[in-house]
Amino acid sequence: MNDALDELLPRYAVAIESPGAPSDLFDPPLPVVLEIGFGMGDATVTMARLEPDRGILAVDVHTRGIAALARALDSEALTNVRVAHGDAVTLVEALPEGCLAGIRAWFPDPWPKARHHKRRLVQPVTLTLLASRLQSGGTMHFATDWPEYAEQMLEVVSAEPTLRLTSTGFTPRPEWRPMTRYEKAGLTAGRPVADLIAVRV
Ligand SMILES: C[S@@+](CC[C@H](N)C(=O)[O-])C[C@H]1O[C@@H](n2cnc3c(N)ncnc32)[C@H](O)[C@@H]1O
């Protein structure tokens, strides 16, 4: 793990508190999607392969996942991903307004206990911050296997005046969205998966 962090990560690393304009992380500049909480990076790598004309700015706090993603990017010679190690909100606060083509958070930690709900990513203040970094027409895509969190996502996104849902409620699972480890675990446990997609007005 340390080899990947020491030798490979510097090629992809972005300073969490001073990322600059995301499109300029790539040469030539690319429209950029922010992926929050990529886990082991499986979906990140698949999406980078599928969309070579988009950049992905991937952020996570999990050191083992950061090392795994750096290794995968190196072995597949992918050049359209940059990696930020740390808290997503710290990164987003440091980004300029209106700079992102998309934001996705697939299976963010559900924090099931009521006393921990305040730690959830999708809540009003954080969502307003995230939406402010989307360009007009940019997409916000959440997915969860936790029904009560899905309802919270729907309520919070519906109430955010700068976002418009693309359906009246949840969206059928997009075929192009890669199956993630957490999605598999949720399905195995019999939990339904909900996708929610909104556009910045
Ligand atoms: C439930 S996992 C989902 C991982 C992956 N998206 C998947 O579906 O397999 C949630 C991920 O969010 C990351 N995470 C939690 N809090 C975070 C934060 N404040 N900033 C960035 N990432 C965070 C965790 O480290 C973990 O990798």
CA atoms of 16 and 193, how far apart (whole Å) = 30
When pLDDT is cut at 50, 70 and 90, the band that residue 5 belongs to is confident
Contacts of 162 (CB under 8 A, 6+ apart): 128, 131, 132, 200, 201
What's the token pair of residue 179?
């199956």
When pLDDT is cut at 50, 70 and 90, the band that residue 4 belongs to is confident
Query: What CATH number did the domain enclosing 154 receive?
Result: 3.40.50.150
Structural domains counted in the chain: 1
Q: What percent of the chain has pLDDT over 90?
A: 96
* Ligand 1 center to 121 CA (angstroms): 10
Residue whose token pair is 């929050």: 36
**Chain-centre distance of CA 93, in angstroms?**
15
Pocket-testing residue among 47, 56, 107, ligand 1, by greatest number of atoms within 8 A of Cβ: 107
Please name the residue whose Cα sits nearest to atom 27 of ligand 1: 39
Q: CA nearest 76: which of 68, 88, 84?
A: 68
What are the angstrom distances between the C-alpha of 177 and each of 43, 47, 105, 159, 173? 8, 8, 12, 25, 8
- Whether residue 3 is predicted with pLDDT greater than 90 in this model: the reply is no
For residue 149, give its domain range. Answer: 2-200
Catalytic residue among 27, 60, 109, 145: 109
Q: Is 109 a catalytic residue?
A: yes
* Ligand 1 center to 178 CA (angstroms): 16
Kindly report, residue by residue over 88-130, the tens digit of the pLDDT: 999 999 999 999 999 999 999 999 999 999 999 999 999 999 9
Q: What is the pTM of this model?
A: 0.97
Task: Assess whether the C-beta atom of 39 lies below 6 angstroms from ligand 1.
Answer: yes
What are the angstrom distances between the C-alpha of 47 and each of 4, 31, 162, 176? 21, 14, 26, 9
Kindly report, residue by residue over 32-41, the tens digit of the pLDDT: 999 999 999 9
